[in-house]
Chains A and B, each alone.
Chain A
Amino acid sequence: MTDPRLHFKTPLRQTPFHSRVAEANVLNKWAAWGGYTTALELSDGEMEYSAIRNSASLYDLCPMVKYRISGADAGAYLNRLTIRNAAILAVGSVHYTAWCDDEGKLLDDGTLFRWADTEYMLCCQERHLPWLLDTAAGFDVAVAEITEEIAALSLQGPCSASVLNAAGFDVKALKPFRMARFAFDGGELTVSRTGFTGDLGYELWIAPDHAVSLWDKLMEAGAPWGIRPIGTHALDTARIEAGFIVANADFIPAHQALREDRVRSPFEMALDWMIDWDKGHFNGRRALVAERNGSTSKWALVGLDIDSNVSTEGSIIYHDKKREVGHITAATWSPATKRNIAIAQLLRPYHDQKSDNLWVEVYALRELQYAKLMLRAKVTPRPFFNPARRRATPPGNY
C-alpha cells in the first residue's frame, strides 16, 4: 500500500483499464478527465468513430462519477433530489435524469440505475457529494461515492450485442434501459443497455479487479467484428449526432457558475419532458412551476443544421446577421447524416417563432489565416441520428 499522502506525485490517476488503453494508444494522445488519465484518440479518430457506427467500440468510462444511494427512503430521496420520478423506476432499470438547485437551475444530468428496491446508483459527470449529503437529511438513506469501486466500460456499435453474446453474455433479451447480471471471472458483471452514442450499445460495470480480464475477453470475443478501443474525440462526434448534452460543455452546473447569468433550467436545456409534476415536492419545483406558469424561460436548447461543412464550434449565432441571439456549445460534421450539425443555446423566441433567419459567424482557420464566414443555420430536431437498431430487441444480427 503506497503512502496515501503521496497522491500528489501522481495527480492524474490511471483507470483499471489503463494498461490496455495505453497499449492501444499508439498516438499517445491523453487528457485529464475527472482526475484520471484518459485517451482522446488512440490510433485514428475517424476509424474509431466508424467503429461506433459500423462495428463495436470500447470506451473506458471509469472517470464517470458514481454514487450509491441506499436505504429504505432511497426512492423518496431521489424523488426529492431529481426532477424525474425515481420511485417508479423498476428494479433492474435505468433512466436518464437531471437535478436542480432551489432556483430550478440544473446542477447536472446523469443516469440513475436501480440495483434493488432500496439501492440505486447515480452516474454523472460532476461531483456533488455535499449536495447529495445535504439532501439526505431527514431521509433514511446512505450516500456514498463509489467511483473507484466500479470500473466501467462502454461497448457501443451495431455489433455490440453480437460481441457480448460471443463473450458468453447473453443480452439478446435485454431491452433498452434494462440491466442484466452475469458471473464473470469469479465476480459479477452488470450489463446495462445504455450508452452515449445514440446507437445500439451497452455499458458494463464490474469490480476493478476484474477489469482487465473483461477488457481482454471483449477484445478477444469482438475480434471477428472488428472491435476497436476508442478515445473521447470519436465518442464526442457520436454523442453530438445523438443530440446528448454534457455538463460543462453544453451547460454550466449551477453550483459552479461564477457568472449568475450562465445557469440554465431544465426548460432551457430541453429537459423539461422529464419533470414529474405530480410526484410531490422536489428540489427546484417551486421555481420551475413559476417558470412554467410565467413562461419566463430565457434560453432554449436547439439542434442546428448549418450550411457548409465548416465546423462551427464555439461560434456566435445572429438573427438577420445582426443581432446576437445565441451561441454554439457543440458542433461537428456528422459522418452519419452528412450534415454540419450543432447543439446551440438560443435566446427565446429565436428558437421557434423567429428561427427563420439565423446565421452563424465562423472564423475558419485555414493555413494560419482565419476566413470569416456567415453561414445560414436551421433549427433541426434532435437526435440528428436515430437508427432503429438502437431500440430493437432482440438486437439485429449485424
Chain B
Amino acid sequence: MPSFDAIVIGGGTNGLACATRLAQAGQRVLVIEGRDKLGGSTAETDPWPGYRSPCLSHLLTHLDPRVETQMKLADHGLSFVDRNIPSTALALDGNHLVLTGAAGDTISGLISDADRTAWQGLRKRLMGFAGALAPFRAMTPPRLAKESGNQYLKLAQLGLGLRRLGRDEFREFLRLALINIADVLEDDLADDRLRGLVAFDTVLGAWMGPRSPNSLFLYLNRLSGEISGKRGATALPRSGMGSVATAMIQSAKTAGVELKSGAMVERIIVENDRATGVALASGEEISATTVISAINPKTTFLDLVGPRHIDTGFANRTRNIRSRGGAAKLHLALKGTPDFRGANLRSRLVIAPSIRSVEDAFNAVKYGEVPTRPVMEIILPSAFEAGHAPDGHHVLSAIVQFAPHEPKDGKESARNAMLENTLSVLEDHAPGIRALIEHSDFLMPYDIEDRYGMAGGNWHHGELAVEQMLFLRPFPAVAQYSTPIAGLWLAGAGNHPGGGVSGAPGWNAAERILSRGRS
C-alpha cells in the first residue's frame, strides 16, 4: 500500500497548484521541495538586515484564473498593491513614456498622435489575437493524430474563436503568427521608446532578440495572461511576491497537502516500468501511486529517472530541450531614493531605449559574452508600500537582459562584468544610484540554475519559443503531461503553457491526471 496517492516533486508555484488540485479531489498528496523554503521563484530570498527580500520573480502577469479562484488565494492572503502598475519607458533625457492600464491602454508623455493611434490599433489587434489564444493555456495540448483523445469540442471552439476575428484579422493572424516583433513595430510605430519597451517585453525571459522570427508570438503569450480576470495585467502583490508563495502554501495545507521542504529527491523509483515512489538524498524512500515532477524535465528524466529507464532517442530529445537562460537578476538595498530623472517610482521602470538596444544586448549572449549595455526591467517594491525597507531606504529588483548562461570567459568574470555594466546603465539613468547601494545580490543564469534548479537558468524550465510550445513543449512525447513511464507525470513550467508564476501547467497536469483516473 503506497504511502501517498501522489508525490509532487518541487514545491514551486506549479507543484503547489498541482498538489492542491489533486488534494481537493480527495487524493493524499505529498509535496517535496529540495530547498528550505517552498514557493520556488516566489520564495523570499535571505533578507538583508532591515530589508524585506525580493524574490526571483517580481511581478505577476499570468496567474491562472482557476488557480486564483479555486485555490482561494485571496482568502489565503493574496492581495494586490495594483493589478496594473504603469510601465515607464525610461529615457536618458527624462522624456519618459508612461503606459497605463492593461497592456498599455493609455500612453502619457510626449509622443506623436500618429504613434498614439497606431499603438492603439496594434494593441487592439494583438490583444484580440491573445484573447483568442488564451483558452489554450487552460487545456492539455492537443495531439496531431487521429483518435488521440483530444478535447475536440474545445479545439473547435478555439478555431472558431480565431476565425471569428473576421477574415482580415484572421489573415493577419496567420501572417503575424511567426513574424518577428521588430518588423511589426517598425511597420506600425515610429517612437523608439515605445518600440523598445514592447520589444523588451516580448523577449523578457526568452532567449531571442526582437529580430528573431517567431518573437511576436511571445508577446501574444504575454498578453494572453490575466490576473483576476483582467488580460494584459502587470500585477504587484501586496507585501511582495512572497505573498503568492504564502497564499499557495496556505491553500495547499488547507486542502490537506503534506509539505516537506529541505528534502532533496535523488531518484524516482521505477519498478516494472512504473514509477512507484521517490528516494530522497537522506536515503528515505516514499512510495506513491503517482509521481509528479514539477521540476524541469531535463533533471527529471536524465537525473531522477535516469537513462536506464528511458530510450536513447527519448534521452536525446530531453538533452535537446533548449533551456538557455538569458536573464540575470539584480537586487539592491538602497540607502536613499534613486532618481530616474523624474520617473514615477510607483511604476515598472524599463530601460530599453530602442529595438536596437534590446537586439544588441541579445547579440552578446549568442557568443557567451556580456553585453555592454544591458536592458532591464526595474521594480522598487518599497516605493509602492511600506515594509520593504527602512524609512527612506529602498529595495530595487531588476531583471537584466541578456546575460550569458555559459560565459566564454568564466562565470566569475562574466558576473563581475555583467554587474558592472548593469550598474553603469543604471547610473546613467539614475545618476547617483551607485552611491546609494548598501547591499547587492546579483544572480547570473547559472546562479539561478544553482539556486533554483532551473536548467540553464531559464525560468521557463526550457526556452519559450514556438518550436517548444504547445504540443512541442518540452517535446512531443511528453507534451500532454504524461510520460512513457506509467505513473510518472510532468507538471512544471517545462510543459505547456510555460513558466511565469501562473500555476497553469500544474493545474492542467492535475486535471489530466484526474481525468485519466476517471476514464
Contacts and interface: CB of A to CB of B under 8 A. Distances in A.
Contacts of A286: 273, 311, 484
B312 A102 contact: yes
B100 to A, nearest CB: 51
Contact of B309 (A101, A281, A284): A281
Q: Give the most central of B312, B315, B484: most A CB within 10 Å.
A: B312
Given A139-B307, A286-B273, A131 B302 contact: no
A280 B309 CA distance: 8
A79 to B, nearest CB: 9
Interface string B296-339: 00000010001111111111100100000000000000000000
A76 interface: yes
B154 to A, nearest CB: 28
Interface size class of chain A, counting residues whose CB lies under 8 Å from the partner chain: 10 to 19
Interface in A90-149: 101-102, 131, 134-135, 137-139
Contact of A280 (B302, B307, B308, B311): B308
A60 to B, nearest CB: 32
B316 A80 contact: no
Nearest to B310: A281
A81 B484 CA distance: 17
B313 A102 contact: yes
Nearest to B319: A137
Interface string B462-503: 000000000000000000000010000000000000000000
B476 to A, nearest CB: 12
Is chain B's interface secondary structure helix, strand, loop, or mixed overall?
helix
Interface residues of B, number: 15
Interface string A284-320: 1110000000000000000000000000000000000
A281 B308 contact: yes
Contacts of B314: 102
Nearest to A138: B307
Given A281-B273, A286-B273, A286-B484, A134 B316 contact: yes
Nearest to B307: A138
Contacts of B313: 101-102, 283
Interface string B427-445: 0000000000000000000
Interface in B439-455: none
B308 A283 contact: no
Interface in B229-278: 273
Contacts of B309: 281
B315 A137 contact: yes
A102 B311 contact: yes
Contact of B311 (A76, A138, A283): A283
Contacts of B307: 80, 135, 137-139
B479 to A, nearest CB: 15
B273 A134 contact: no
A138 B273 contact: no
B312 A138 contact: no
16 contacts: A76-B308, A80-B307, A81-B312, A101-B312, A101-B313, A134-B315, A137-B302, A137-B319, A138-B306, A280-B308, A281-B273, A281-B308, A283-B311, A283-B313, A285-B273, A286-B484
Interface of A: 76, 80-81, 101-102, 131, 134-135, 137-139, 280-281, 283-286
